[in-house]
Amino acid sequence: MKRRFTLLLLLYLLFHLPFTCSYAQTFADPSLSAEIARIKIIDNHAHPMRFTATGEPPDNEYDALPGEGLEAPGLPFRLGPDNPEWIEAWRALFGYKYTDASPEHMRELTDAKLRVMIEQGERYPAWVLDSIGIDTMLANRVAMGKGLVTGRFRWVSFVDALLFPLSNEQSKSVNPDYRVFFTEEERLFKRYLRESGLSAPPSTLDQYLRRVITPTLERQKRAGAVAVKFEAAYLRSLDFSDATFADASRIYSRYARGVVPPAAEYKTLQDFLFRHIAREAGKLSLAVHIHTGGGIGAYFNVTNSNPLLLMSAFNDKSLSRTNFVLIHGGWPFARQVTGLLNKQNVYLDFSAQSFILYPRELSENIRAWLEFAPEKVMFGTDAFTFGPEVGWAEVAWLSTRTGREALALALTGMEKDKEITRARALELARMVLRENARNLYGFK
């Protein structure tokens, strides 16, 4: 009898414990949600488009790795064309009158968008922010452009191209995504060389550091950059080991004239360059943003983007002056990334999670982070353009709504469980939506 009772108890726990242990809040406190809705947001991560007038070439600087030419990957439902939330976004932003997305109604939507853009002109990007409740958006772009006015948009530049000064032919052969991405990086690398007054990389590593890397970072700082961005997980693993200058210099000199380097030796050089760039960025008070977690592309290797791979870099004392931001909060490694927040100079945002996950699931991640290190958590939209129907404005709208709802759910649960007071809940909301970013970047 005792054995049977024990067995029944174990079966009960097996099937019920995962659900009873979950502290996901189902409903947010309406008054708290109303307060959160009034907070003007600082968006830590997005890819806004510059304004382009009729007849002007399209904007191709919204990302260093824009993704054109990739094999079409599978998309989560919320990013697909059948997500009814897009209809809500069109209604909120462009006065869309319908409850479907039929071809004839889509033509009306296109006309309505064009009408708004013409009416707003160069103010259109700022109009999008005003319509959504975003005060400042950090723009991840190769370069800023028309309409992305200083104050409302702050620049985050791309520096991955500086990691790959040698021949990338071996990497291009690994998979079709790499062939597209490395071609884009090589194009940007040539641009950085030209801006440094060079037509080819210097012959020694020391000269490359002094004549290309440092001047490039200094130019970007002078042009208004508040951070630099690594998308390295699209190109290699985030496992940046501690390589010596002597080893990196030997490898650079050996293969600087176009000979294809072996993958292992090239990685050593990249490892050294990553830490050097991060160190130089810290000296310039530029935060270092790192793409972590899932990404686009049919061949994206999510295991290479696990933020825990960065542990040795975060433990490097020479990088203690550099502030790192884990973009996308490492999803799907969102819970594991919590353990990195005990590093004094490591922060995160939940961009992309805000349109991949629904509010309830996202709220669980946010709550876990807030219970551990509330001053390290920031909001982000990862707004970018899918095409004429779903542009960066719609993605920003969806992410902002999801982020506010998820934050309200997380804080309601914490208040209900007596972890925080209402006053503390409102303080945490302001921290996540604007104050943490404001403090990190020194915004006034």
pLDDT digits (tens, 9 = 90+) for 345-398: 999 999 999 999 999 999 999 999 999 999 999 999 999 998 888 999 999 999
Q: What's the pLDDT band for 23 if we cut at 50, 70, 90?
A: low
Whether 10 has a pLDDT exceeding 80, the answer reads no
In single-letter form, the type of residue at position 402 comes to T
- CB contact set of 1 (below 8 Å; sequence gap of 6+): none
The CATH classification number of 25-441 equals 3.20.20.140
- Provide the b/e sequence for 252-288 (b: ≥16 CB within 10 Å): beebbeeeebeeebbbbbbbbbbbbbbbbbbeeebbb
Distance of CA 378 to the CA centre of its chain: 11
What the block records as the tokens of 113 is: 């968008």
102-139 as b/e, with b when 16 or more CB fall inside 10 Å?
A: eeebbeebeebbeebbeebeeebbbbbbebbbbbbbbb
Listed range (25-29, 166-170, 259-263) with the worst mean pLDDT:
25-29
Q: What is the mean pLDDT of residues 244-262?
A: 96
Q: What is the pLDDT of residue 132?
A: 97
pTM metric for this prediction: 0.93
Instruction: Give me the mean pLDDT over the 417-443 stretch.
Output: 98
Q: Model confidence over 264-289: pLDDT tens digits?
A: 999 999 999 999 999 999 999 999 99
pLDDT over 70 at 293, yes or no? yes
Q: What is the mean pLDDT of residues 185-200?
A: 97
Q: Do residues 350 and 379 touch, judged by C-beta distance below 8 A?
A: yes
pLDDT in tens, 38-90: 999 999 999 999 999 888 999 999 999 998 888 877 778 899 888 999 999 99
Q: Where are the domains of the chain?
A: 25-441
End-to-end CA distance of the chain: 70
Q: Which of 66-70, 173-177, 211-215 has the lowest mean pLDDT?
A: 66-70
CA 364 distance to own-chain centroid: 19
Check: CB of residue 213 under 8 Å from CB of residue 279: no
